[in-house]
Amino acid sequence: MAWSTDGPTVLENDHVRLAPVTEADREPLRAIALDPDIWRYFVSRVESDADFEAFFDAALADHRAGRRCVFVITDKRAGRVAGGMSYGNLSEPDSRLEIGWSWLGRDFRGTGTNRWAKLLLLEHAFERLGALRVEFKTDVLNTRARRGLRNIGAVEEGVLRSYNPMPDGRRRDAIYYSVLAREWPVVKKTLAEHPKVRP
Protein backbone atom coordinates (compact mmCIF):
# COMPACT_ATOMS: atom_id res chain seq x y z
CA MET A 1 0.00 0.00 0.00
CA ALA A 2 1.50 3.34 -1.04
CA TRP A 3 1.18 5.54 2.00
CA SER A 4 0.59 8.87 0.29
CA THR A 5 -1.89 7.63 -2.33
CA ASP A 6 -3.64 4.52 -1.04
CA GLY A 7 -3.25 5.38 2.64
CA PRO A 8 -6.08 7.91 3.02
CA THR A 9 -9.26 6.05 3.87
CA VAL A 10 -12.24 6.38 6.19
CA LEU A 11 -11.41 5.18 9.70
CA GLU A 12 -14.02 4.85 12.42
CA ASN A 13 -14.93 3.29 15.72
CA ASP A 14 -17.95 3.72 17.99
CA HIS A 15 -16.82 7.20 18.98
CA VAL A 16 -15.30 9.05 16.02
CA ARG A 17 -15.10 8.95 12.24
CA LEU A 18 -12.00 10.13 10.38
CA ALA A 19 -12.41 10.86 6.67
CA PRO A 20 -9.98 12.35 4.14
CA VAL A 21 -10.47 16.09 3.78
CA THR A 22 -12.51 17.39 0.84
CA GLU A 23 -13.73 20.80 -0.28
CA ALA A 24 -17.07 20.01 1.38
CA ASP A 25 -15.36 20.22 4.78
CA ARG A 26 -14.42 23.89 4.40
CA GLU A 27 -17.49 25.45 6.05
CA PRO A 28 -18.03 22.89 8.84
CA LEU A 29 -14.40 23.35 9.88
CA ARG A 30 -14.57 27.12 9.62
CA ALA A 31 -17.49 27.09 12.07
CA ILE A 32 -15.27 25.72 14.86
CA ALA A 33 -11.82 26.98 13.86
CA LEU A 34 -12.04 30.70 14.67
CA ASP A 35 -10.98 30.29 18.29
CA PRO A 36 -7.55 31.75 19.13
CA ASP A 37 -6.99 29.25 21.94
CA ILE A 38 -6.83 26.38 19.44
CA TRP A 39 -3.79 27.86 17.69
CA ARG A 40 -1.73 28.97 20.69
CA TYR A 41 1.05 26.47 20.00
CA PHE A 42 0.75 26.31 16.20
CA VAL A 43 3.31 27.95 13.94
CA SER A 44 0.48 29.72 12.14
CA ARG A 45 -2.64 31.30 13.60
CA VAL A 46 -6.25 31.18 12.43
CA GLU A 47 -7.76 34.42 13.70
CA SER A 48 -9.85 35.56 10.72
CA ASP A 49 -11.71 34.20 7.72
CA ALA A 50 -8.68 35.02 5.57
CA ASP A 51 -6.43 33.04 7.92
CA PHE A 52 -8.82 30.11 7.76
CA GLU A 53 -8.94 30.19 3.97
CA ALA A 54 -5.14 30.04 3.81
CA PHE A 55 -5.02 27.26 6.42
CA PHE A 56 -7.67 25.14 4.70
CA ASP A 57 -6.28 25.70 1.21
CA ALA A 58 -2.81 24.60 2.38
CA ALA A 59 -4.21 21.47 4.03
CA LEU A 60 -6.21 20.54 0.94
CA ALA A 61 -3.20 21.15 -1.33
CA ASP A 62 -0.92 19.06 0.90
CA HIS A 63 -3.48 16.27 0.94
CA ARG A 64 -3.97 16.25 -2.82
CA ALA A 65 -0.21 16.31 -3.43
CA GLY A 66 0.43 13.43 -1.03
CA ARG A 67 2.54 15.51 1.34
CA ARG A 68 0.07 14.83 4.14
CA CYS A 69 -2.94 12.59 4.69
CA VAL A 70 -5.37 15.08 6.23
CA PHE A 71 -8.34 13.67 8.13
CA VAL A 72 -11.45 15.48 9.31
CA ILE A 73 -12.71 14.21 12.66
CA THR A 74 -16.43 13.78 13.29
CA ASP A 75 -17.63 13.14 16.82
CA LYS A 76 -20.27 10.45 16.31
CA ARG A 77 -22.05 11.08 19.59
CA ALA A 78 -22.52 14.77 18.79
CA GLY A 79 -22.96 14.18 15.06
CA ARG A 80 -20.70 17.14 14.32
CA VAL A 81 -17.32 17.88 12.80
CA ALA A 82 -14.85 18.18 15.68
CA GLY A 83 -11.51 19.11 14.09
CA GLY A 84 -8.61 17.66 12.14
CA MET A 85 -5.56 15.43 12.40
CA SER A 86 -2.98 14.31 9.84
CA TYR A 87 -0.34 11.86 8.86
CA GLY A 88 2.71 13.78 7.71
CA ASN A 89 6.46 13.51 7.17
CA LEU A 90 5.69 10.23 5.43
CA SER A 91 8.79 8.13 4.76
CA GLU A 92 7.66 4.76 3.47
CA PRO A 93 11.24 3.53 2.76
CA ASP A 94 12.03 4.16 6.43
CA SER A 95 8.67 2.79 7.66
CA ARG A 96 7.94 5.92 9.67
CA LEU A 97 5.44 8.75 9.73
CA GLU A 98 4.25 11.54 11.99
CA ILE A 99 0.81 12.09 13.49
CA GLY A 100 0.19 15.77 14.01
CA TRP A 101 -1.48 18.96 12.83
CA SER A 102 -4.06 18.06 15.47
CA TRP A 103 -6.77 20.46 16.53
CA LEU A 104 -10.25 20.27 18.02
CA GLY A 105 -13.05 22.75 18.46
CA ARG A 106 -13.65 23.95 21.99
CA ASP A 107 -16.68 21.69 22.56
CA PHE A 108 -14.64 18.56 21.90
CA ARG A 109 -11.61 19.11 24.11
CA GLY A 110 -11.41 16.83 27.13
CA THR A 111 -14.16 14.56 25.80
CA GLY A 112 -12.02 11.66 24.59
CA THR A 113 -12.36 12.67 20.92
CA ASN A 114 -8.60 13.21 20.60
CA ARG A 115 -7.86 9.90 22.25
CA TRP A 116 -10.17 7.92 19.96
CA ALA A 117 -8.83 9.66 16.85
CA LYS A 118 -5.23 8.92 17.83
CA LEU A 119 -6.14 5.29 18.48
CA LEU A 120 -7.54 4.96 14.95
CA LEU A 121 -4.53 6.62 13.31
CA LEU A 122 -2.00 4.61 15.30
CA GLU A 123 -3.89 1.39 14.62
CA HIS A 124 -4.00 2.09 10.89
CA ALA A 125 -0.32 3.09 10.81
CA PHE A 126 0.97 0.00 12.57
CA GLU A 127 -1.54 -2.66 11.54
CA ARG A 128 -2.40 -1.65 7.96
CA LEU A 129 0.46 0.48 6.66
CA GLY A 130 3.17 -1.50 8.41
CA ALA A 131 4.88 1.46 10.05
CA LEU A 132 7.69 0.68 12.45
CA ARG A 133 7.82 4.14 14.01
CA VAL A 134 5.18 6.82 14.57
CA GLU A 135 6.38 10.16 15.84
CA PHE A 136 4.79 13.24 17.35
CA LYS A 137 6.20 16.70 17.96
CA THR A 138 4.87 19.63 19.90
CA ASP A 139 5.91 22.94 21.37
CA VAL A 140 7.99 22.38 24.49
CA LEU A 141 5.65 24.87 26.22
CA ASN A 142 2.55 22.78 25.41
CA THR A 143 2.39 20.94 28.71
CA ARG A 144 -1.06 19.47 28.08
CA ALA A 145 0.00 17.79 24.82
CA ARG A 146 3.23 16.56 26.39
CA ARG A 147 1.38 15.07 29.36
CA GLY A 148 -1.11 13.36 27.05
CA LEU A 149 1.63 11.78 24.93
CA ARG A 150 3.45 10.51 28.00
CA ASN A 151 0.18 9.10 29.38
CA ILE A 152 -0.35 6.87 26.35
CA GLY A 153 3.20 5.54 26.55
CA ALA A 154 4.91 7.61 23.85
CA VAL A 155 8.62 7.97 24.60
CA GLU A 156 10.07 11.46 24.94
CA GLU A 157 13.13 11.65 22.71
CA GLY A 158 14.49 15.15 23.00
CA VAL A 159 14.23 18.82 22.12
CA LEU A 160 15.15 20.44 18.83
CA ARG A 161 16.03 23.96 19.88
CA SER A 162 14.88 27.04 17.99
CA TYR A 163 12.98 24.82 15.55
CA ASN A 164 10.27 27.16 14.21
CA PRO A 165 9.47 30.87 14.18
CA MET A 166 6.20 31.63 15.95
CA PRO A 167 3.72 34.41 15.15
CA ASP A 168 4.55 36.18 18.43
CA GLY A 169 8.22 36.48 17.44
CA ARG A 170 9.69 33.76 19.63
CA ARG A 171 11.49 30.69 18.27
CA ARG A 172 9.70 27.48 19.20
CA ASP A 173 11.63 24.62 20.76
CA ALA A 174 10.07 21.40 19.41
CA ILE A 175 9.98 18.26 21.51
CA TYR A 176 9.71 14.83 19.87
CA TYR A 177 7.93 11.70 21.06
CA SER A 178 7.55 8.32 19.39
CA VAL A 179 5.83 4.96 19.55
CA LEU A 180 7.57 1.97 17.95
CA ALA A 181 5.86 -1.07 16.48
CA ARG A 182 7.11 -3.26 19.32
CA GLU A 183 5.54 -0.84 21.83
CA TRP A 184 2.24 -0.59 20.01
CA PRO A 185 0.38 -3.46 21.78
CA VAL A 186 0.83 -1.80 25.18
CA VAL A 187 -0.03 1.66 23.84
CA LYS A 188 -3.12 0.25 22.11
CA LYS A 189 -4.30 -1.37 25.32
CA THR A 190 -3.79 1.89 27.20
CA LEU A 191 -5.76 3.93 24.66
CA ALA A 192 -8.56 1.38 24.30
CA GLU A 193 -9.10 0.51 27.94
CA HIS A 194 -8.34 3.56 30.04
CA PRO A 195 -11.05 6.23 29.72
CA LYS A 196 -9.07 8.76 31.75
CA VAL A 197 -6.22 8.77 29.23
CA ARG A 198 -6.80 11.93 27.20
CA PRO A 199 -3.87 12.71 24.91
Host domain of residue 92: 11-193
Q: Is residue 130 in a domain?
A: yes
Q: Is residue 154 in a domain?
A: yes
pLDDT band for 1, please (50, 70, 90 cuts). very low
Q: Is residue 68 in a domain?
A: yes
Q: Is residue 22 in a domain?
A: yes
The alpha carbon torsion through 131, 133, 139, 143 (nearest 10 deg) reads 100
Percent of the chain with pLDDT over 90: 90
pLDDT tens-digit series, residues 103-162:
999 999 989 999 999 999 999 999 999 999 999 999 999 999 999 999 999 999 999 999
Q: Is residue 4 in a domain?
A: no
Q: What is the domain count for the chain?
A: 1
pLDDT tens-digit series, residues 42-57:
999 999 999 999 999 9
pLDDT tens-digit series, residues 61-80:
999 999 999 999 999 999 99
How far apart are alpha carbons 54 and 56 in whole angstroms?
6
Q: Is residue 33 in a domain?
A: yes
**At residue 199, does pLDDT exceed 60?**
no
In angstroms, how far is CA 22 from the centroid of its own chain? 17
Q: Is residue 6 in a domain?
A: no
Residue 180 belongs to domain with CATH number: 3.40.630.30
Q: Is residue 112 in a domain?
A: yes
CB-facing half-sphere around the CA of 64: CA atoms within 13 A = 8
